[in-house]
Structure 1
Amino acid sequence: MHIQTSPAFQRSVKKTLTSILVFVIVYMLLLIAAIGLTIALTYFGIHLIIEIPNLYIILFGAGLIFAGLTILFFLIKFIFSKNQNHTEGMFEITADMQPELFQMIHEVVQEAGTDFPKKVFLTQEVNASVFYNSSFWSMIIPVRKNLQIGMGLINVLSKQELKAIIAHEFGHFSQRSMKLGSYVYHVNQVIFNMLYNNESFDRTINRVTGWSNSLVITLWGAIYAIRGIQWILKKLYNFINKNYMALSREMEFHADEVAAHIAGSEAFSSSLMRLDFADHAFNEAVQFYFNRSSESLFPDDIYADHQNMLRFLAKKNSYEMKDGMPMIDLDSNLKYDKSKLNFENQWASHPSTADRVKKVRQLNIVKAVEEDSPAMDMIKDKDKVISEISDFLFKNLFLEDEGPNANIPIVKLGADEFIHKYELAFNKRSFDKVFNEYYNLVTPVISDYEKIDLDGNIPERSYFSDEDTELSYELQALRQDIGTLKSIQAKEIGVKTFDYDGIKFHRKAIPELLERLKKEEVSKAAELDELNMQIFKHFHHLAKSKNMEQEFLEAHLQLAAYDKIYEDQMNFYYELNNKFSYLNQVLDYNQIETFFIEFKVLELRLKKELKELLEYPGFENELDKKYVENLKKYMDKEWKYFMVSAYVDENIMILREAMEALPYLIYQRYFLQKKKILAIQADLM
């Protein structure tokens, strides 16, 4: 099989190789300069030590030598680094263990014209990928690839669809032109390592500067020189990476074409469109057990739960089912995606799923398949494999030797019981279907309703139609488009041209376009406000007729009151998170200690906000008991986060969990008060 690379692919290769050549030239000049500087500093340092054998001069001379070597080592350290992939949670399999799966892989690599993987692993994920341990020497010495296949992926595909996904992965390495792309990937990894993987290097410099003031003086010179080198290389790296991302997108299209030639256009496109939805379903199933950890629930078969979750969510989204699998169409998300702005994201490594599916379908490659049964039928000793994966996936749920859950026996949950419990939980955190998702983006807060003529005329119409719901999504998309256009105008997004509503624009035309869109935003917002007012008056009229007026108005008042403090609470969380990100830098001990002294003021407010939120009556039967106990444990104690010369990692983790609990509780309280109003409205209908 030979597939001609596209002109766009060939142009991307040339641009990327040209940019790498520029980088290599600049890098070699820097390296030559660094070698010359190291020789000069070494000569001068040795000369000083010989001529003036004084302790301080000896240290200063040694510092000069070390400074030169530091700059030189910075430029060559990538040679000694290795990109190591961890295989924890991966289960290696052989042909004897999974003969049918290996037979499929053999067929794929033979048709693709590439090598059989060095090792094959099964994981829990809804994904498949090729990976390998790489280093600088990988550009010279070929590296055999490993293949990992997720059981979650096998669980949602037919055999032919799985073959298509595996073919895509090996399509990246199937032809000489694609091997050039692999070479470019290695070069890109080397550059990235040299510029950004500097944690151990920085720690070494910090330790050495603590030995002597003489060393500090010389090393500061080296550090400033390295920062200058980094500034130059980062500018070049951005230029290279932009071209590499364009090449990466073309490589995806090419690998897609390989998959279509091996398994057919339909098999690949249908599997590609299902992956995100299937991944969401799997994560929902897994998260269900983590959220109910205090009940010690354990899945009898997590992949049977996954199947039930697929069917449940497919029904909620009105997806057609075929052979037990949801059929996702390209138009499925149009209800939620109303954006009219379209441009090529130059920093994206993958094209959009829609673009990939359209190209594969244009190929229209048909492969006859006599019988296309579920891919899971290939798995030998399926129950044993699922058991091993489940034990790893949920191992952290049952590690407690003491505490409230220590003596609670594990409860195995069958697939039917799982989906029943999940549906109950889903309905608790969802709004009644009679509202047709209208309130997903709309809040029924009416300010100053006392000034409204509640007894005035109410239009005779039905509410919560598809048109009503679409209005809120159109307004959201319009506001997002305005924000994106502002980023393009400020050159935060590096594109010069874009399409809006099917018309091509240049960046210079953004001010005029923004003026038009802002007027449209005001108009749509006013239309939505008027609709909300009509809905409020409609339900008030119904409440009054059923002697529920006081209950209806009190619920609105409570939400309106919390709506006023909601934004302040969220802004505090953003401030808290922003302050804490300061610790991501390389800091000395005094800076860290000073930070935590100043952070104490914010932490006091964090504890106060958490305490008030946990006292909200609506949370009484909503929050996991273990979750609440952990938060109370945090609030009732003074914690040390840094002692002598090291972070207290366990306490830092407790603080992070408390910080992340804040937005969760804020949102949950808002949701429950909003749902209270909607429950009243649903009863009135």
Structure 2
Amino acid sequence: MMYIVGCFCFVFLAIASIWFGYYIIRDYGEHDLPIQFMILSLAGCWLLWEIAKAFRFRAKLPSKFRSIETHEYPTLFAIINEVTDNLHLSPIERVYISPDAIAAVFIQPQLRNLLFEPKRNLVIGMGFLTQMDDDEIRAVLYHEFGHYVQAEMKSSLSVYTVGQFSQSFVSIKDIKKESTWQQQLKVQLLLFTYYTIWFCNRINKAYSQLAKQMEYDADDVAVKYVGAVTFQRALLHAACIRYNYDVVQWGLKQLQPQNIQVDNIYLALHFVGNYSRPSRRLLSSEVVKRVERLGKLRYDKLPLQSVCKVREYAMQIIPSQSNLTSSCSAYQFAQWLREGLMIYMHQRELSTAVLLEIHLDKKKHKLPWFDATYKIMLDGKEIGSGNFIKGYTLKRRTSPGKHVITAYAPSGIISTPFEFEVEQDKSYHIEMDYKLHAKDGIYDVYGMSIIIIE
């Protein structure tokens, strides 16, 4: 409701500025207002045009998603129908498979989702379908569909739709240096952009606190139907599959310069899984917490023999790669990769071997009087939000070597890149600062110093 009220205020502002432009033209000569004020009218037209375009938004699906029907994969659809029936949910709209190791129930948000229940879609990766047994697939699906039996999901769907609508504005993209007239023309659009960014930040902050509990609640739904042991096994196996899938993809990249391809990467993933078990420190800390929350894993409770109809069918529908001019078998690839596994593990450990603490003091300068939020970028990737008045401390892990910190905002902020070099297994404190270029009316955000934390 807050967001809708804010949108109506901006629409009213746009309409008022358009009427003001009409008044200048209609009564020109009867007042002393210059014709240049027509820029306000054009700005209002532009804002209404962007809002109207955003109303037509619909999230696009990744190109790697492929829709499947019941007759193409009857064993999988039988488990999906079992899960939705037991949870008393409406049938799934579409089922997609993807080449990686993922599983998610999702919607394609539209503004009508604010009033009507959205249609749910499921995507599940071949990495899971070709490696998990039927009980594990069932446990994963109970968790994913378990989100939709939670009361919180009804509210979060509306919030998610609002967030997607906000991000659909062209004005949120990079705005290059322009003339004074062009900047004045975009004032209303920029104000609305800052409003949407501010609102999205509020959504993210509130949702991050709720998301963890929603994951736990969905875990409890899965445990109710498949048992704690089966769900723990599925959770750990999913984490191992994701890790080993990354190992396989890394190995494939090493073979690219030689133009060598593997005839069946999912069979290779199976062979790699027989000897590759990621250590606890390489697993996501959140996955470990979720497993331990359900109690100690009882290996004596694991089934001696599992049903694998979904896995067997998935292996049969993998496209044949026998026509490759230069290829190796999945077994040969897995044996070769076994020798390089230590190299990959070392690279993964290096990627988080350095701790960065990026800091800005609270209210470091008198200006600005009104706080503004901007993005902190490490090597071109967003790692958190910064602000002038409240200050911030961001803790991130990275790899040893050279890195660059910059800041980004739609307008009013520039950033001098701060280049630095770090060493393995050390912690660094980076002090940020900013200064006002009064003539241009912009702030420059930059890194001031870096020191080793003892």
Please list the CA deviations of residues 234-275 of structure 1 after superposition, one character each: whole Å capped at 9, or x if unmatched: 444433322222222221111111111222211111111222
- Paired AA for residue 248 in structure 1: A
Q: Which string of whole-angstrom CA distances, capped at 9 and with x for unpartnered residues, describes residues 442-475 of structure 1?
A: xxxxxxxxxxxxxxxxxxxxxxxxxxxxxxx9xx
> Does residue 1:44 correspond to 2:16, yes or no?
no
The residue aligned with 2:84 is 109
**Equivalent position amino acid for 1:247 in 2:** L
Q: Is the 8 A contact 2:97 2:125 kept in 1?
A: yes
| Paired residue secondary structure (1:113) | coil
1:487–1:255 distance in 2 versus 1, CA, 3 Å: farther
Partner of 1:379: helix, strand, or coil? Answer: helix
Structure-2 separation of matches of 1:265 and 1:224:
56
Matched, 1:423 2:353: no
Tell me how far 1:367 sits from its aligned partner.
10
- Distance across 1 between alignment mates of 2:139 and 2:410: 44
Deviations 1:129-187 (A, max 9, x none): 11232111122232221212212112332211110001111111135x1xx42442332
Q: Relative to structure 1, is the Cα distance of residues 367 and 423 closer, same or farther in structure 2, using a 3 angstrom cutoff? A: closer
Q: Normalized per residue, which structure has more helix? A: 1
Preserved contact between residue 223 and residue 231 of structure 2 (Cα < 8 Å): yes
2:99 and 2:126 in contact (8 A); partners too: yes
After superposition, where does 1:534-573 map in structure 2 within 5 Å? 570-571=401-402
> Which residue pairs with 2:228 in the alignment?
265
Paired residues for 1:154-233 under 5 Å = 154-175=129-150, 177=151, 180-191=152-163, 193-194=165-166, 196-199=167-170, 217=181, 220-221=183-184, 223-233=186-196
2:256 maps to 1:309: no
Q: Does 1:411 align with 2:326?
A: yes
1:124 alignment partner in structure 2: 99
Written as runs of structure 1 = structure 2, the 5 A alignment for 1:15-164 is 21=1, 23-24=2-3, 28=5, 30-52=6-28, 60=36, 62-72=38-48, 78-86=54-62, 88-164=63-139
Matched with 1:252 is 215
Q: Cα distance 1:352–1:222, how it changes in 2: closer, same or farther (>3 A)?
A: same
Q: CA deviation at 1:353?
A: 1.4
Partners of 1:371 and 1:137 in 2: how far apart? Answer: 47
1:308 touches 1:419 (CA, 8 Å); kept in 2?
yes
Sort the Cα spacing of 1:333 and 1:221 in 2 relative to 1 into closer, same or farther, 3 A: same
Please tell me the root mean square deviation across aligned C-alpha atoms, in Å.
Answer: 4.6
1-structure distance, mates of 2:336, 2:11: 67
C-alpha contact (below 8 Å) 2:241/2:273 kept by paired residues: yes
Counterparts in 2 of 1:422 and 1:184: CA distance versus 1, 3 Å: closer
Work out the percentage of aligned pairs sharing the same amino acid: 19
CA–CA distance in 1 between the matches of 2:296 and 2:280?
Answer: 21
Q: What corresponds to 2:397 in structure 1?
A: none
Q: Which segments of 5 or more consecutive residues in structure 2 lack a partner in the other structure?
A: 364-399, 420-454
* C-alpha distance in 1 between matches for 2:337 and 2:91: 41
Kindly state the Cα deviation for residue 306 of structure 1 after the two structures are TM-superposed.
0.5
| Offset at residue 121 of structure 1 (A) | 2.1
SS in 1 for 2:143: helix
Relative distance call for 1:487 and 1:308 in structure 2 (3 A) is: farther
Q: What pairs up with 1:318-329 in 2 under 5 angstroms?
A: none
Structure 1 residue 232, shift from structure 2 partner: 4.9
CA 1:222/1:34 → structure 2, altered by over 3 Å: closer, same or farther?
A: farther
Where do residues 516-527 of structure 1 align in structure 2 (5 Å cutoff)? none
* 3-state SS, counterpart of residue 285 of structure 1: helix
Question: 1:221–1:367: structure 2 CA closer, same or farther, 3 Å change rule?
Answer: farther
- Cα deviation, residue 284, structure 1: 1.8
Instruction: Give the Cα separation in 2 of the matches to 1:489 and 1:49.
Output: 50
CA displacement 1:600-626 (0-9 Å, x = unmatched): xx9xxxxxxxxxxxxxxxxxxxxxxxx
CA 1:488/1:184 → structure 2, altered by over 3 Å: closer, same or farther?
farther
By how many angstroms is 1:361 displaced?
3.8
Secondary structure in 1 matching 2:319:
helix
AA in 2 matched with 1:161? E
Q: CA deviation at 1:69?
A: 2.9
Structure 2 vs 1, CA of residues 430 and 185 (structure 1 numbering), >3 Å: closer, same or farther?
closer
Question: In 1, Cα distance between the equivalents of 2:11 and 2:64?
Answer: 45
Letter of the structure 2 residue corresponding to residue 292 of structure 1:
L
Report the residue type matching 2:127 in the other structure: G
Counterpart residue identity of residue 379, structure 1: Y
Inter-partner Cα distance in structure 2 for 1:187 and 1:155 = 35
Provide the C-alpha distance between the structure 2 equivalents of 1:81 and 1:369, rounded to a whole number of angstroms: 48
| CA offsets 1:396-437 (integer angstroms, 9 cap, x no match) | xx9xxxxxxxxxx7223122211232234446x489xxxxx9
1:226 CA drift (Å):
4.3
1:278 offset after TM fit, Å? Answer: 1.5
Equivalents in 2 of 1:139, 1:248: separation in Å? 20
SS at match of 2:268: helix
What is the total number of aligned residue pairs between the two structures? 375
Distance in 2 (CA, whole Å) between partners of 1:262 and 1:367 is 16
Letter in 2 for 1:69: C
Q: Which whole-Å CA distance do the structure 2 matches of 1:358 and 1:420 have between them?
A: 33
User: What is the identity, as a one-letter code, of the residue corresponding to 1:288?
Assistant: G
Larger Rg: 1
- Distance in 2 (CA, whole Å) between partners of 1:430 and 1:115 is 44
Give the SS at the match of 2:294: helix
Alignment of 1:149-548 (within 5 A): 149-175=124-150, 177=151, 180-191=152-163, 193-194=165-166, 196-199=167-170, 217=181, 220-221=183-184, 223-314=186-277, 332-333=279-280, 352-361=286-295, 372-374=306-308, 376-379=310-313, 382-383=315-316, 385-387=317-319, 410-426=325-341, 429=343, 480=355
